[in-house]
A = this chain, B = another copy of it.
Amino acid sequence: MSDSPTPLPDGREMQLVHLLRAVTVEFDLRGAEFAAGHGLHPTDLRALIFLLDADRAGTRATSGRLGAALRLNSAGVTSLVDRLERQGLVRRSRDDRDRRRVLLSVEPKAVDLGWSFFGPLIGRLVDAAAGFTTGELDVVHRYLSAALGAASEPEPAAQTPQGPDAAV
């Protein structure tokens, strides 16, 4: 099967797939560069983004949820949070309702760091959207939502041996 099983036409749809992939690669590259430039690992940045998202959404982030989102086991999460705590980016605190849990809260330094990463990128992306009508942006929104749904579908008979929740 060393060739296309279904002779997919390399038309507009395929071009979009390649574009999406290119955007993904580019985002990852920016993230890795930013992380390296600030003495972090890509995983640290991913964790920070997850925690900042949770912070903005008002969700209480725990070690467990972080691990599920990043697909790390508990030992990995412990060393990850140790790392972030050592850098003064997050703070651990026991959950008083369930004292087994460790709540993670981001420090202002983390928020600043997040902004210094996303700020310029967001700025350029918003600028890039300037040449489109609101109707066109709606179309893009519809497409990206559909693409996200398509990408999120798990493989048919693949391995989903993970826990109950997960998913960033």
How many copies, total?
2
Please report the C-alpha to C-alpha distance between residue A143 and residue B3 in the assembled complex, in whole angstroms.
31
Q: Does A79 sit within 8 A of B, measured CB to CB?
A: no
Please provide the chain A residues from 141 to 168 with a CB less than 8 Å away from any CB of chain B in the complex.
Answer: 141-153, 155-156, 158-159, 167-168
Instruction: Closest B residue to A131 by CB, please name it.
Output: B146
Q: Is the interface of A mostly helix, strand, loop or mixed?
A: helix
Shortest A20–chain B CB gap in Å is 6
Residue of A5, A16, A153 most packed against chain B (CB within 10 A): A16
Q: Does A60 sit within 8 A of B, measured CB to CB?
A: no
Residue numbers in B under 8 Å from A20 (CB-CB): 23, 27, 125, 144
